[in-house]
Structure 1
Amino acid sequence: MEGVSPEPLRSELDSKSKQDTAKEEDDDTFKESTDAEVTKIRLMRAFVESRDPSSKEVDDLMIRRFLRARSLDVEKASAMFLKYLKWKRSFVPNGYISPSEIAEDIAQDKVFTQGLDKKGRPIVVAFAAKHFQSKNGADGFKRYVVFVLEKLCSRMPPGQEKFLAIADIKGWAYANSDLRGYLNALSILQIVFVENKKLKSTLLEEIEESQLPDIYGGQMPLVPIQNS
């Protein structure tokens, strides 16, 4: 009796598993969406797929994220989404940022990840005093920001669309000044400044002590973003 290679069967099972996973994700998206959102997700998907076939690879969570960012306005969300796809193809042609592309920024050890806050959002800590302008210029720092965001997104629980960022400016000096870099970061992150004397109590409003960075009186050690 001839032996049967398991590869075709494994491939078929893997394909079915991926399809089932995608279906489960879509089902979860619709469970957590309002009727209006479900309708507009379908409308937007039909529109963007007709304009850019690569959008077929994007799940409904991503579509919903853009819709919510534009108050469920399909036209505005679609324009924003198509612009994003075009930008990603040109700026991240390989689909991801390799650590070798941003070695200088990684070596500065300026961004760290933690656990999750009380709302299930990943926590990231950035130290302004450890940031120095990259020799690769603004584009180099943008790639680092994209790298950080990809790492954070990979840690987001299903259905979560946000993360919590702590920007620590202690020790910041003129040598750390990088206006263009900061503007790039500020265009993405919402930063709230807190007085030192209120720091721990303010952070504990959003973060359990077990998830709070130990440098702020919590229990969790900092983890460099590249190691997360």
Structure 2
Amino acid sequence: METLTPEPGKSSPPLDHHHHSKHDGAALKDSTEAEVTKISLMRALVESRDPSSKEVDDLMIRRFLRARDLDVDKASTMFLKYLKWKHSFVPNCSVSPSEISDDLAQEKMYVQGVDKKGRPITVAFAAKHFQNKNGLDAFKRYVVFALEKLCSRMPAGEEKFLAIADIKGWGYANSDLRGYLGALTILQDYHPERLGKLFIVHAPYMFMKVWKLIYPFIDDNTKKKIVFVETKKLKSTLLEEIDESQLPEIYGGQLALVPIQDS
């Protein structure tokens, strides 16, 4: 992997030199000293390679650093790859519902409430997902749309969401390995450090065969956040993270689910 270094004549900006006020206070307040230094180093480096990096706040830089254990070179490579992907795959900066009408019509993702840490909660129903007849890119756009919606619901200072993947009723007709891996790539490579926790509920035996194929592609940071929930302990497990007033009705809580496009 090439080592990234700023162009000659460009030195790292001093630590108090920041381009944005958007979130910097929050980023620097919760950051370790090492992170503050590395945010600054990484910013100088990526801005020398891609000037559009200037638009990005320190919280985003920090998420990429954390995803690569504060290795500035690796995080910068990952971040520049993300920018390139975003410019080509999401040229209008966001995905419009008209581009993904088939996926939205399946009503397979819902959002409502927040967990005890203030993270927005999303529920995805695997049995409502079928391989997209418009091809893999349409489904990937749907995933981008859903992640944008979730991020827009995060309160100030919160960067993560909690997800419940409900596999009830899933069968081979729903099995879309390329779609699942595409979604995983978008989450891990382009929205790092966004997933706070993933509860997998009602997973049938058949699904575990597909899970074994996906598991090797999940990075170690993400693996730590995934919990398979026993059906008989479903409500009690979810209540550890989510107050009853914020828990979906279908799991014994008090909130009705809202389709993600209406959230």
User: Could you list the runs of 5+ residues in structure 2 that have no partner in the other structure?
Assistant: 1-19, 188-194, 199-225
**Which residue identity is paired with 2:38?**
K
Which has the higher Rg, Structure 1 or Structure 2? 1
Which of 208, 213, 216 lines up with 2:251 in the alignment? Answer: 216
Do the aligned partners of 1:128 and 1:170 also contact (CA within 8 Å) in 2?
yes
Partners of 2:30 and 2:231 in 1: how far apart?
A: 38
Aligned residue in 2 for 1:204: 239
Aligned positions of 1:21-100 closer than 5 A: 22-23=20-21, 25-100=23-98
Do the aligned partners of 1:102 and 1:143 also contact (CA within 8 Å) in 2?
yes
Which of 130, 133, 142 lines up with 2:131 in the alignment? Answer: 133
Counterparts in 2 of 1:196 and 1:93: CA distance versus 1, 3 Å: same
Partners of 1:211 and 1:194 in 2: how far apart?
A: 18
| 1:42 to partner: Cα distance | 0.6
**Which residue identity is paired with 2:244?**
E
**Which residue identity is paired with 2:99?**
E
Q: Cα deviations across residues 75-111 of structure 1 (Å, max 9, x unaligned)?
A: 1110000000000001001100010110000000000
TM-score (norm 2): 0.76
Aligned positions of 1:150-165 closer than 5 A: 150-165=148-163
User: Could you list the runs of 5+ residues in structure 1 that have no partner in the other structure?
Assistant: 1-21
Aligned residue in 2 for 1:5: none
Counterparts in 2 of 1:194 and 1:89: CA distance versus 1, 3 Å: same
Partners of 2:183 and 2:79 in 1: how far apart?
A: 20
Range that drifts further, 154-163 or 117-126? 154-163
Aligned residue in 1 for 2:212: none
Which of 120, 141, 161 lines up with 1:122 in the alignment? Answer: 120
The two structures, once aligned, show a CA RMSD in angstroms of 1.3
Partners of 1:179 and 1:72 in 2: how far apart?
A: 31
Do the aligned partners of 2:128 and 2:174 also contact (CA within 8 Å) in 1?
yes
**Which residue identity is paired with 1:199?**
L
Aligned positions of 1:144-155 closer than 5 A: 144-155=142-153
Partners of 1:200 and 1:89 in 2: how far apart?
A: 42
Match of 1:126, SS state, is strand
| 1:172 to partner: Cα distance | 1.0
Identity of aligned residues (%): 78
Do the aligned partners of 1:47 and 1:78 also contact (CA within 8 Å) in 2?
yes
Partners of 1:186 and 1:193 in 2: how far apart?
A: 17
Range that drifts further, 90-99 or 189-198? 189-198
TM-score (norm 1): 0.87
| 1:64 to partner: Cα distance | 0.6
Do the aligned partners of 2:22 and 2:57 also contact (CA within 8 Å) in 1?
no
**Which residue identity is paired with 2:75?**
A
| 1:24 to partner: Cα distance | 5.9
